[in-house]
Amino acid sequence: MPSAANLPPAPSGCVTLLTDFGLEDHYVGVLRGVVTRIFPGARIFDITHGVRPYNVAQAAFYLRHSYPYYPEGTVHVSVVDPGVGGARRPLVASAHGHYFIAPDNGLLSRILSRADEPEVREIDPDRWGLKPLSSTFHGRDIFAPAGAWLASGKPFAEMGPIVDEWVRLWPAEPREVNESLFHAPVLNIDRFGNIVTGFRPNDLRGASSFRLRVGSLDSTQLRETFEVSADPIVLLGSSGYLELCIRKASAADKAGAKIGDRAELALDV
């Protein structure tokens, strides 16, 4: 349970949406309609609807690196739900001064793992969902309605029973193989094909040289911008991770890389 100093925040009236629905179908528009119908005063923001289909890890990355830019008390509704209609639970969490709503499939694990005292509850669809409840569109029938009610001021403690455990994704942190070799996962691949690794600048440990490899692609060139002549390069990306990049081309295509693959960092020590 949260301490008195970490009580759920007052809702800001802001609701964000993050999905893998794309914009070709009506699904995103329906989510926005559900939120507005329940809470006409909601301010709705789209983080992205371009998550790769079913890619929970990418959704977790986008959520982790987007929520801090919204006001405290924002309700973040994230729906990447390959197990929709199954046994996975609908969750709502209070952490970092924000609210997070998502299926219990690991999507919230990057958020909750960093929180000192997160409070997580299972949403009660009988109380907060739409009727009838479909088996294939819980974004419309559970997640968006719960987000709207919470943003409108309904008490977080009434959303449902407390949950003590939740699904966690694979670790995002680097792992030491030996004193000069480290492994980390590929956390994301953006639409430009830049490969975001789990390494940060301090993982270079002041080494005189290094080599970052993902799949068949590697680089020893650390650069500050894309204005370079050498390809591929290692760049410090805006999320604070080392990225393997090729200027005006897809490093991921060249490497044959996907999210969750292993990146290797070799240091000259």
pLDDT value at residue 269: 58
pTM (predicted TM-score): 0.94
Average pLDDT for consecutive 10-residue bins of the chain (269 residues)? 63 96 98 98 98 98 98 98 95 97 98 94 98 96 98 97 97 95 98 97 92 96 82 94 94 97 92
Q: From CA 71, how far away is CA 156, in angstroms rounded?
A: 17
CB 230 within 8 A of CB 211: no
Q: From CA 200, how far away is CA 43, in angstroms rounded?
A: 34
CA 126, chain centre distance (Å): 27
CB 98 within 8 A of CB 67: yes
| Domains and their CATH numbers in the chain | 4-158 (3.40.50.10790), 175-267 (2.40.30.90)
